[in-house]
Structure 1
């Protein structure tokens, strides 16, 4: 994701933070602090609260990622956004039951943490626990009771926060975990595409309700709640993107590679100059190229963005070997496009060689041509029903 940078790596899964996370977190703390006349210490604790919250979000997302790994699904990365975290999976689990467990694993992590922290609180009497709850949960801006230690209050706060995270994520508003659980259950009888559509529409209706609630102060002469608006907009657009992604995945699973491949393609060689390749590129028929050596062995690909990078640098006399990528993702002409779709989402392949069942190179699947064809097919959009 553009604008996200890596801060850690656990279980071979990168953890990234989007730049807007720090901007909005700092903005929230300053806004809340000045709006309620907090002193510096209160603002500091507010910032610590947000950082702890997002640490729990990371644990939540690793619940999804590690459970997905059990079913053979890799996680590209975990990204922290101002409104939560996202574990980006390579693809959805094939079976609805697997998707159910992947979706519910995140909230279960929070439930387990809530139980773990709650064990500490059994050292208090019920009246004392209720007193701590009143001080931590219900008091306005006052999270500290003089009769209890900071550790007591912090552990209760952690237990309470995990309960809130688990409950919030189980709301059946796609794309939150509750919506994904709903989608998994609906998929059993309706199939993933229609189940995604129903879950997405439910999520969008709830998102519109959140946005309305957030801006209702305009008509009631009261304050606008930007957090409700922000979360609502996130759900609204993410639900639509998820449906489009699943619809496209359903579509490509029904199309064979040989339907979209280009049988006639230009062969470029390691020693060719960038200038020569740009002449072919200027014809407008090809955007990404396969690269061969003098013995006609496939050595790599020259994707469009690398070619344009060379042109921008005016490095026209450089050889193709300087800018090509050596990663090759071969396809079989008789297979469906699903694997190609997955590769193009996570790599810079640009072009993929296509072989027939007898291992003979018969064509190339160009990313640009692939995207243009799918775009045309996606225009024939229906509320329900199958993709063409």
Structure 2
């Protein structure tokens, strides 16, 4: 989801904070929209303002402050998720602010029954508390302080809206996670996820239809995001549950064909033709030096040495979880991982084919174990 992010030079209670590039686009756009609709917000919040106050740059300055306050509120919302997850022993990789708000990227979903619901509800609770706090501060502000009245009123309203919207029963919103967690109290987690994904897609369709009827493009964008994210959530859950308990050492190929760094491109191409491989680890005296593949040879002369064209390999330890290995492949765009020991010696290779084969076999095993004929009458 976040291909380009900017890591901020700050941490919230030890949690890194990043900005997706889409945030840099939506922030000024949101500031402009709030500023241009300022008279509407003033009527909604029942604030009296002189016509002069609505002229010049003032509306857009207030729009920018309101937009910054909104994203700060979103940041605190996500921090609520992260701190609650920490109470369950789950760390947060980072909090990312982006086009549609924020995401706290947890390392994993805790296995404690109902824990996902507790972590999910923490965010809306924070937003509701912020809404009440801003409403209280607005009541204490002087009636003549129009700018303060507007900012506090807007942030109270928007935090209430944020809490209610996130409670919609649609993944990846908090309400969808609460729904899945409650379903998982009575049925297998995969089945609970499938049901939550189905509900999410219905909700996305309803949001999209409503956005179409009222001509709200932002609601259409949210509906599209919910639909796509719910589908991705379902696929990720199937992956994690299917590869659960498998490690790199269980799936890697231990017999690996390698090439020395002194091999020429002409000799390497001949080897590729004979063995029908398009990539090789470059090894010298047992130590892994790099990786050479067919695409690395473009533009090279026949006498060029492999040492001059090889690139750094993507390495992994044999005690790495299979799911983590698959995620690294996806993030880095590699189709294979080279497995090394603590001394940097090559001990195996893990390809995407190995992982897909394991997925197919485990899925078949899980399907077989769930078949009605395999359940003994009278047993749970």
Tell me what 1:230 maps to: 221
Q: Is the 8 A contact 1:257 1:336 kept in 2?
A: yes
Tell me what 1:182 maps to: 179
* Two-structure CA RMSD over aligned residues (Å): 4.2
Task: Map 1:149-298 to 2 at 5 A.
Answer: 149-217=146-214, 224-253=215-244, 260-269=251-260, 290=281, 292-294=283-285, 296-297=286-287
Q: Is the 8 A contact 1:291 1:324 kept in 2?
A: no
Q: Is the 8 A contact 1:6 1:16 kept in 2?
A: yes
Residues 155 and 247 (structure 1), Cα distance of their counterparts in 2 relative to 1, 3 Å cut? same
Q: Note if 1:7 corresponds to 2:8.
A: yes
Tell me what 1:330 maps to: 317
| Structure 2, unpaired ranges of 5+ | 40-53, 372-380
Task: Map 1:356-375 to 2 at 5 A.
Answer: 363-366=348-351, 368-370=352-354, 372-373=356-357
Moved more, 245-254 or 21-30: 21-30
Residues 14 and 318 (structure 1), Cα distance of their counterparts in 2 relative to 1, 3 Å cut? farther
Tell me what 1:61 maps to: 78
Deviation at 1:210, TM superposition (A): 0.8
Q: Note if 1:16 corresponds to 2:1.
A: no
CA distance in 2, matches of 1:245, 1:289: 30
Q: Is the 8 A contact 2:35 2:62 kept in 1?
A: no
Tell me what 1:302 maps to: 291
TM superposition score normalised by structure 2: 0.72
| Structure 1, unpaired ranges of 5+ | 129-145, 218-223
CA distance in 1, matches of 2:71, 2:264: 50
Q: Note if 1:351 corresponds to 2:337.
A: yes
Residues 199 and 279 (structure 1), Cα distance of their counterparts in 2 relative to 1, 3 Å cut? farther
Tell me what 1:99 maps to: 116
Residues 21 and 379 (structure 1), Cα distance of their counterparts in 2 relative to 1, 3 Å cut? farther
Q: Is the 8 A contact 1:266 1:289 kept in 2?
A: yes
Tell me what 1:137 maps to: none
| Residue in structure 2 matching 1:86, options 87, 103, 108 | 103
Residues 160 and 195 (structure 1), Cα distance of their counterparts in 2 relative to 1, 3 Å cut? same
* SS of equivalent residue, structure 2 residue 256: coil
Deviation at 1:374, TM superposition (A): 6.5
Deviation at 1:260, TM superposition (A): 3.9
CA distance in 2, matches of 1:267, 1:230: 49
Deviation at 1:256, TM superposition (A): 6.6
* SS of equivalent residue, structure 1 residue 190: coil
Residues 151 and 46 (structure 1), Cα distance of their counterparts in 2 relative to 1, 3 Å cut? closer
Q: Report Cα offsets for 1:205-240 as digits up to 9, x if no partner.
A: 1111110011114xxxxxx11011000000000000
Q: Is the 8 A contact 1:252 1:341 kept in 2?
A: no
TM superposition score normalised by structure 1: 0.71
